[in-house]
Amino acid sequence: MPKKPAKPHDEFFKASFGRREVALEYLQSMLPADLLETLALEKLERINGSFVSSALQETFSDVVYQCPLRDERFKIYASFILEHKSKPESRPHLQLLRYMLDAWTEQLNHGQKQLTLIVPILIYHGKQGWKKRKMSDYFGKKLPDGLLRYIPAFDYVFTNVRNLSDEQILELSRGLLINTLLLMKHIWEPEYILQNPQLIFINLNEPHQQQDFIVFMLAYFLKNTEIAKDKVQDFIQTLPKVLNKTTMSTYDMIVKEGESKAQKVFEELLAKERQRAEEERRQAVEEERIRATEEENQRAEEERIRLNNTILNLHRIAKMPIPEIALMVDIELEYIEALIAQSGQEE
């Protein structure tokens, strides 16, 4: 087998959670109930790009989404920063805080007056345990209460995929999130995947619909495990027939053409995911523009009707002369005369 890529897990994470349907299923399944109640997740959209600074690029891999609050009185967007980890981080708050500061600085540099709320999310699937702590714990457990208010206090949503049972994962809404989490959980156990292909690749028996994702899952698995060729061939034979050809061609590509060709496949698929995200973003922007235009037109129409009613009441009930009405409502005389004439015809 060829040399393993430098950041294979980040590549798989970005390609899988970069798909809106996977991210949406994750948020619907994993976010706290009180947070879910406040969010209009049906309007979730991918933000194309990254806020990771050069200082964090080696340790931080982000996928960014944004979503408005369900209460339309508040024009606040909650941005979700999904970050993947395959090794424990002793002080994740510090990385997340740097990230959020970079994101807010970018917003201010682009003239945004009101900062966007950020909900950081860490998804972990490493072999070692991860003990989640509060940021105040970094300073000692017996810190006087009077000093706590000087320490930044924020939480992050945390999912340890390795702590989820297969049954818990399979109970999630049927979709690619199931396949993603199962593969992330068992990537350290190649023999398990070889023995349970129907479990890992469940619902992926229609290549014409999910072919890119199938190829990516298989490439991720085959590139990051040392497996004898005969075992791989036996594994392929256990897959549904519609997957055999795709699986074998993926494996042959990795083995025969080496790391550079395999990496090219990853890059092409990542480019497709970025293009998909950009198209979704453009569609969301256009839908928002249409909605805003419709709302503006509706408000203008309501204002026009209100003004017309005021003019007619002043003329009919208050018996105010038309020139005085024109001065009061600051409307051209001709418009008021035409309105009164039209109203008389309708009666």
Segments making up each domain of the chain, as ranges: 8-293, 317-347
What pLDDT is recorded for position 32? 92
pLDDT, one tens digit for every residue, the chain (347 residues): 444 444 667 778 887 888 888 889 999 999 999 999 999 998 888 876 555 555 444 444 578 888 888 887 776 778 888 888 888 888 889 988 988 888 888 888 888 888 888 899 999 988 888 888 888 888 887 788 888 888 888 899 999 999 999 889 888 866 788 888 988 898 888 888 888 777 776 665 554 456 567 667 777 777 767 666 677 777 777 766 666 666 666 666 666 655 555 566 656 666 666 676 677 777 777 877 888 888 888 888 988 898 888 988 888 888 888 888 888 888 888 888 888 888 876 66
Rg (Cα) of the chain, in Å, rounded?
28
Q: How many of the other CB atoms lie within 10 Å of CB of 204?
A: 22
β-pair partners for 123 = 84, 159
Helix (H) / strand (E) containing 159: strand 157-160
Residue 301 tokens read as 């129409």
pTM above 0.75, yes or no: no
What does 103-136 look like in DSSP terms, one character per residue?
HHHHHHHTT-SSPPEEEEEEEE--SS------GG
Q: Where are the alpha helices (DSSP H) in the chain?
A: 8-17, 20-30, 33-38, 92-109, 145-148, 166-170, 176-186, 190-195, 197-200, 207-223, 229-238, 241-316, 322-329, 333-346
